[in-house]
């Protein structure tokens, strides 16, 4: 208690000291250019991160949109004209970009400790730091089911996705080996730490594919909004999809669906600074600001993405407008994350192509679900 | 009291160091396996099939070459194993050599890193033991404390590697110390706890295996588990025999010992092109064997036989590494085979994993001679009491049957072949390892060539001895003469004759390297005051005699030391 109070007082003093500096530099401050995903996600970021940052430092923020593709970043860095200072990117892309030398190195030293004084390296979840990127939130691919399809017993574990005797009805899964193979192995009781090691063997792959082959009435989806639509139209009773989309359908549109958190496959969303960014110093300041416990918690109250800090996860409360308890909807909440798999980016980076061939050869090529949009490019935005 | 607490503190310190070393070792093996395309993960992430096939054969071969060169630097020309630790502790010799320990650890690291079908727990146990002995040595502690320090290192290594502190403590007592003195318990427990804490809080690694949500087996299935135990003992016997047989066969091979591991590596790599499951420790294979349907029955038999053969080949031909992890894999495959038969017969429900685990303990416990440790490992890794009970059923028959047919463990059998028989307990082993040369007395009469009977009688009377030992000009032993016989000759007026004319009395003759145990068995059939010690390697040079009294005294001293060590409280 005493420590918490002291920390608040210390923070207040720091803020007081910063005030004159902030107001002094407000007039001539160069705007910070941030590249992000747009949509509801960007609106939440503006409210929870960008506006408070400008208020605290006087540095205005200009937001740009992209679909996650590295092509534009690559082009910009090679030409030497980098129009952004901070990029919001998936960890897997961040790894690739870092290896290609497109990003500035980013040290965890710049991060603030938690309000309780826990150093950042211990407060952040495992795998949050890579050489050029720092994870700020976690989104998940989960299974959602129609509540009305299972009036008696409801699915409680990921194995139920494959159990069409106890939970009958059509399923929809993403036409991609990722996530599906993980779930198939989990359903055999394989511990989550061993999934990628076992998937690296022919035996493991065929074991996983056998589970998928035995699913009756399976529809494949490719665009991120399809699973919600298939569930809404009652064409399937269980579907995989992104937790943000399901949250939106459930809370904002009142669809009678429920998320099965067991076996959720988490991916990291990171902050990175492109090489040659003009405002690299402000960019660091922004990352420090935006990854503070309080800001992460504020963002998670607006959209259901899990903060990368343990201390922030504990502080998440209700949505400021709708009053929905957001703790139940973020992937990293202890209740939801009991058996969570973290997608192994580097494994997929090396194997995705070969595994996809194997996957496509083994599984029937049924026609895409009626009304399906043409296949999305693999670089289409995944999260929001 | 202070000394005892100091020993506990030393145990904890050794525990920390041994655990750090163990975690470093495990991490290095994983890193090497990924780098050298041995682990499935490393192999899958590598996109060139031709290069992968070449690496599969070349890496174990080169690993074998390196291991062979490392072994040349060890005096015995082979890596040290837990058997050496057991021998050092059981004979109260202690003082494990640091250099051989380091080289053996390196050899284990290279063997495991390059994909040899060997285990990692043997090297870890030996590394922990060497660290413990080194600590005791630096502090100039006595032999008993050295033993406790060794046991502490062993317990910490097991506690850290399996995340199973209880199993570590029991293993140290059950396999290494073979007694449960309170004096040893506290330092060993401290080491195990320290090792466990270090392992879980600094370098978190996944445990060996996890078994989740287990069903409850039917009552009749416990009979099946017992039976699996009985048959598993035979599998364990086959495994141990295969290792020893390859070792004997390799010794006759017209190939220099440093090159043998490379040959084994090449053979392993070639077979692994067809069945990659046999490469390395086989953790993935172990996991698959606990999943119903991952292997067909035929698959199980093939992988089981090949894994057994590959391990026997690698260890027998001289790769460094343990026998425990391969035994886990072989046992689990065997259990899975039993489980799949029971399932095909339509009996078992969802208890497949029970069969796999029962097979695992049935094969593993006899190999390391540690039924309690194996049970505790199952318990600590799964946290499932039902599963542990099933394993208990299986081990009940497995351990005694294997002990009857084969011996207490592979380690004991290996030691027996090196001349140290632990089957009759520790006091005998101790006497077997204690050398006669320490008891030699020069207080005796030797008669050189040309000594007359008169002179001999005079010398013997003056020294107060009843028998004398004839030697030739090179001081080689020629025979024993009794004062009584000499007196008889003198009485007959043959006093001028040479002593060599006198009747020889047969006396036991032993080498200075002979054990006290051998000496103790001679006086039983020959009544005499002493045993003659002559050095066979020096052409039978007379070294002195050993009196029965000093043998008895040595026996008493060893027994007392053992009693103090095994029954002392502090």
Q: What pLDDT digit, counting tens, does each position of B9-20 carry?
A: 999 999 999 999
Average pLDDT over residues B566-570: 66
8 Å CB contact of A200 and B211: no
The pLDDT confidence band at residue A21, using thresholds 50, 70 and 90, is very low
Q: What is the pLDDT of residue A367?
A: 45
Per-range mean pLDDT, top range of A309-318, B234-243, B439-448: B234-243
Q: What is the pLDDT of residue B348?
A: 64
Average pLDDT over residues B234-257: 93
Q: Is A1 a residue whose pLDDT tops 60?
A: no
Average pLDDT over residues B298-311: 95
Collect all residues of chain A within an 8 Å Cβ-Cβ radius of residue B353. 189
The pair phi, psi for residue B342, each rounded to 5°, is -60, -40
Shortest Cα distance, chain B CAs vs residue A59, angstroms: 41
pLDDT digit string (tens) for B500-554?
A: 888 888 888 888 888 888 888 775 555 667 888 888 877 888 888 888 888 888 8
Per the CB < 8 A criterion, the answer to whether B247 and B272 are in contact is no
Percent of chain B surpassing pLDDT 90: 52
Q: What is the pLDDT of residue A368?
A: 47
Give the ipTM of the model, two decimals please.
0.81
In this structure, how many other beta carbons lie within 10 angstroms of the beta carbon of residue B302?
Answer: 16
Average pLDDT over residues B213-217: 72
Per the CB < 8 A criterion, the answer to whether B188 and B147 are in contact is no
pTM of the model: 0.82
Shortest Cα distance, chain B CAs vs residue A228, angstroms: 32
Collect all residues of chain A within an 8 Å Cβ-Cβ radius of residue B40. 197-198, 200-201, 204
d(Cα A7, Cα A10) in Å, to the nearest integer? Answer: 5
| Eight-class DSSP state of A75 | H
Collect all residues of chain B within an 8 Å Cβ-Cβ radius of residue A189. 211-213, 291, 353
Q: Is A65 a residue whose pLDDT tops 80?
A: yes
The pLDDT confidence band at residue B247, using thresholds 50, 70 and 90, is very high
Q: Which residues pair with A242 in a beta bridge?
A: A141
Percent of chain A surpassing pLDDT 70: 87
8 Å CB contact of A191 and B212: yes
8 Å CB contact of B45 and A351: yes
What is the pLDDT of chain B when averaged over all its residues?
89
d(Cα B448, Cα B465) in Å, to the nearest integer? Answer: 16
- Give the residue from chain A lying closest to B291, CA to CA: A188
**Could you tell me which residues of chain A have a Cβ less than 8 Å from any Cβ in chain B?**
188-191, 193-194, 196-201, 203-204, 207, 210, 346-347, 350-351, 354
pLDDT digit string (tens) for A321-376?
A: 888 899 889 998 888 888 899 999 888 888 888 888 889 888 865 544 444 444 33
Average pLDDT over residues B244-272: 93
More confident residue, A39 or A199: A199
Question: Which residue in the set B39, B206, B295 is minimally distant from A193, CB to CB?
Answer: B206
Shortest Cα distance, chain B CAs vs residue A323, angstroms: 37
Per the CB < 8 A criterion, the answer to whether B240 and B406 are in contact is yes
Q: What is the pLDDT of residue B567?
A: 76
Question: Which residue in the set B40, B277, B291 is minimally distant from A189, CB to CB?
Answer: B291
Collect all residues of chain B within an 8 Å Cβ-Cβ radius of residue A200. 39-41, 43-45, 284
* H-only helix segments in chain A: 2-26, 39-45, 51-57, 71-79, 91-99, 120-123, 177-186, 195-199, 202-213, 226-232, 243-247, 280-290, 293-300, 310-315, 345-362
Q: Is the dihedral of CA B129, B135, B140, B141 positive or negative?
A: negative
8 Å CB contact of B295 and A203: yes
Average pLDDT over residues A62-77: 88
d(Cα A276, Cα B70) in Å, to the nearest integer? Answer: 51
Q: Is A159 a residue whose pLDDT tops 90?
A: yes
Per the CB < 8 A criterion, the answer to whether A383 and A243 are in contact is no
Q: Is A27 a residue whose pLDDT tops 70?
A: no
Shortest Cα distance, chain B CAs vs residue A191, angstroms: 7
d(Cα B207, Cα B484) in Å, to the nearest integer? Answer: 75
**Could you tell me which residues of chain B have a Cβ less than 8 Å from any Cβ in chain A?**
39-41, 43-47, 206, 210-213, 276-277, 283-284, 287-288, 291, 293-295, 353
pLDDT digit string (tens) for B33-65?
A: 999 999 998 998 888 889 999 999 999 999 999
Query: Nearest-5° angle of CA A102, CA A104, CA A108?
Result: 135
pLDDT digit string (tens) for A40-61?
A: 788 899 999 999 999 999 999 9
Collect all residues of chain A within an 8 Å Cβ-Cβ radius of residue B210. 191
Question: Which residue in the set B47, B213, B284 is minimally distant from A201, CB to CB?
Answer: B284
Q: Is B274 a residue whose pLDDT tops 80?
A: yes
A–B CB contacts, 8 A cutoff, strictly below: 64
Per the CB < 8 A criterion, the answer to whether A358 and A176 are in contact is no
The pLDDT confidence band at residue B325, using thresholds 50, 70 and 90, is very high
Q: Is B349 a residue whose pLDDT tops 80?
A: no
> In B488-564, where do the E strands start and end?
509-510, 530-535, 541-547
Give DSSP secondary structure letters for B227-282: HHHHHHHHHHHHHHHHHHHHHHHHHTSSS-GGGHHHHHHHHHHHHHHH-GGGSSS-
Average pLDDT over residues A300-312: 91
Q: What is the pLDDT of residue B68?
A: 94
Question: Which residue in the set B43, B210, B294 is minimally distant from A200, CB to CB?
Answer: B43
Q: What is the pLDDT of residue A384?
A: 44
Average pLDDT over residues B182-211: 80
**Region of B510 on the Ramachandran plot (φ > 0 left; ψ -120 to 50 alpha; else beta):** beta
Burial class (CB in 10 A: 0-12, 13-18, 19+), A39: middle
Q: What is the pLDDT of residue B448?
A: 87
Average pLDDT over residues A190-206: 91
pLDDT digit string (tens) for B403-455?
A: 998 888 999 999 988 888 888 778 888 888 888 888 888 888 888 888 888 88
Question: Which residue in the set B39, B47, B284 is minimally distant from A354, CB to CB?
Answer: B47
The three-class DSSP label of residue A138 is strand
> In B353-441, where do the E strands start and end?
none
What residues contact residue B470 under an 8 Å CB cut-off, 6+ apart? Answer: B446, B447, B449, B477, B478, B479, B480, B481, B499, B500
């Amino acid at each position: 208690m005493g420590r918490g109070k002291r920390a608040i007082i210390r923070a207040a003093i720091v803020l007081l000291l910063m005030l004159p500096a902030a107001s002094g530099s407000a007039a001539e401050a160069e705007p910070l250019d941030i590249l992000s995903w747009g949509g509801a996600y960007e609106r939440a970021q503006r409210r929870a991160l960008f506006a408070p940052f400008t208020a605290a430092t006087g540095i205005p923020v200009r937001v740009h949109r992209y679909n996650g593709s590295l092509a534009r970043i690559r082009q910009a860095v090679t030409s030497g004209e980098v129009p952004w200072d901070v990029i919001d990117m998936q960890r897997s892309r961040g790894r690739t970009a870092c290896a290609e030398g497109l990003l500035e190195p980013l040290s965890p030293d710049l991060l603030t400790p938690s309000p309780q004084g826990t150093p950042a390296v211990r407060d952040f979840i495992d795998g949050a730091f890579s050489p050029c990127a720092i994870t700020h939130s976690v989104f998940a691919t989960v299974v959602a089911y129609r509540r009305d399809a299972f009036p008696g017993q409801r699915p409680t574990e990921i194995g139920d996705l494959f159990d069409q005797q106890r939970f009958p009805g059509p399923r929809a899964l993403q036409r991609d080996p990722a996530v599906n193979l993980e779930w198939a192995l989990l359903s055999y009781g394989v511990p989550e730490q061993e999934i990628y090691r076992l998937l690296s063997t022919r035996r493991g792959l065929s074991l996983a594919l056998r589970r998928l082959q035995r699913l009756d009435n399976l529809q494949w989806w490719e665009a991120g909004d399809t699973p919600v639509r298939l569930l809404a139209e009652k064409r399937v009773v269980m579907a995989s999809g992104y937790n943000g989309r399901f949250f939106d359908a459930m809370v904002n549109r009142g669809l009678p669906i429920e998320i099965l958190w067991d076996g959720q496959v988490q991916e990291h969303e990171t902050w990175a600074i492109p090489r040659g960014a003009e405002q690299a110093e402000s960019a660091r300041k922004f990352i420090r600001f935006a990854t503070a416990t309080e800001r992460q918690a504020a963002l998670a109250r607006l959209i259901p993405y899990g903060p990368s800090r343990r201390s922030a996860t504990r502080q998440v409360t209700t949505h400021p407008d709708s009053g929905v308890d957001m703790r139940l909807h973020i992937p990293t909440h202890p209740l939801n994350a009991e058996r969570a798999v973290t997608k192994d980016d580097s494994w997929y980076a090396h194997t995705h192509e070969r595994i996809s061939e194997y996957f496509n050869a083994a599984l029937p090529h049924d026609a895409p679900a009626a009304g399906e949009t043409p296949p999305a490019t693999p670089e289409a935005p995944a999260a929001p | 009291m202070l000394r005892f607490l100091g020993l506990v503190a030393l145990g904890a310190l050794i525990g920390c160091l041994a655990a750090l070393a163990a975690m470093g070792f495990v991490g290095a093996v994983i890193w090497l396996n990924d780098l050298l395309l041995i682990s499935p993960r490393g192999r899958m992430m590598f996109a060139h099939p031709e290069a992968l096939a070449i690496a599969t054969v070349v890496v174990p071969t080169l690993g074998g070459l390196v291991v062979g060169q490392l072994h040349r630097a060890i005096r015995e020309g082979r890596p040290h194993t837990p058997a050496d630790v057991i021998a050092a502790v059981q004979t109260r010799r202690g003082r494990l050599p640091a250099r051989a320990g380091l080289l053996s650890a390196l050899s284990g690291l290279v063997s495991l890193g390059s994909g040899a079908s060997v285990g990692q727990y043997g090297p870890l146990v030996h590394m922990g033991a060497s660290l413990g002995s080194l600590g005791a040595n630096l502090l100039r502690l006595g032999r008993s404390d050295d033993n406790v320090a060794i046991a502490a290192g062993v317990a910490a290594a097991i506690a850290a590697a399996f995340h199973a502190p209880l199993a570590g403590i029991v293993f140290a007592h059950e396999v290494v110390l073979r007694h449960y003195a309170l004096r040893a318990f506290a330092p060993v427990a401290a080491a195990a706890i320290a090792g466990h804490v270090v392992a879980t809080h600094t370098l978190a690694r996944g445990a060996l295996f996890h078994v989740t949500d287990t069903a409850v087996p039917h009552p009749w299935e416990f009979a099946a588990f017992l039976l699996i135990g009985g048959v598993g003992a035979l599998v364990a016997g086959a495994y141990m025999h295969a290792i020893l047989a390859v070792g004997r066969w390799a010794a006759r091979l017209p190939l220099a010992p440093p090159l043998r591991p490379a040959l084994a590596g090449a053979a392993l790599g070639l077979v692994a092109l067809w069945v990659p499951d046999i490469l390395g420790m086989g953790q993935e294979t172990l996991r698959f064997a606990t999943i119903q349907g991952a292997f067909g029955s035929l698959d199980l038999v093939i992988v089981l036989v090949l894994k057994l053969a590959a391990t026997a080949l690698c260890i027998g031909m001289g790769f460094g590494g343990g026998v425990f992890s391969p035994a886990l894999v072989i046992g689990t495959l065997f259990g899975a085979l039993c489980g799949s038969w029971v399932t095909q017969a339509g009996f078992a429900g969802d208890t497949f994993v029970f069969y796999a685990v029962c097979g695992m303990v049935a094969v593993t416990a006899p190999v390391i001679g540690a039924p309690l440790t194996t049970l505790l490992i199952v318990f600590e890794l799964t946290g499932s009491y039902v599963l542990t009970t099933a394993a208990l059923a299986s081990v009940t028959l497995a351990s005694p049957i294997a002990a009857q047919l084969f011996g207490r463990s592979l380690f004991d059998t290996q030691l027996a072949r090196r001349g140290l028989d632990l089957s009759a307990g520790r006091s005998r082993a101790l006497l077997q390892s204690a050398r006669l040369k320490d008891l030699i007395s020069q207080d005796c009469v030797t008669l050189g060539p040309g000594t007359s009977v008169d002179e001999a009688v005079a010398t013997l009377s003056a020294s107060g001895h009843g028998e004398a030992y004839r030697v030739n000009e090179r001081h080689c032993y020629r025979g024993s003469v009794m004062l009584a016989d000499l007196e008889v000759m003198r009485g007959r007026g043959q006093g001028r004759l040479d002593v060599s004319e006198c009747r020889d009395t047969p006396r036991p003759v032993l080498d200075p390297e002979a054990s006290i145990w051998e000496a103790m068995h001679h006086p039983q059939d020959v009544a005499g005051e002493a045993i003659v010690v002559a050095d066979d390697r020096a052409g039978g040079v007379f070294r002195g005699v050993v009196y029965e009294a000093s043998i008895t005294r040595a026996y008493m001293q060893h027994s007392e030391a053992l009693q103090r060590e095994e029954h002392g409280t502090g």
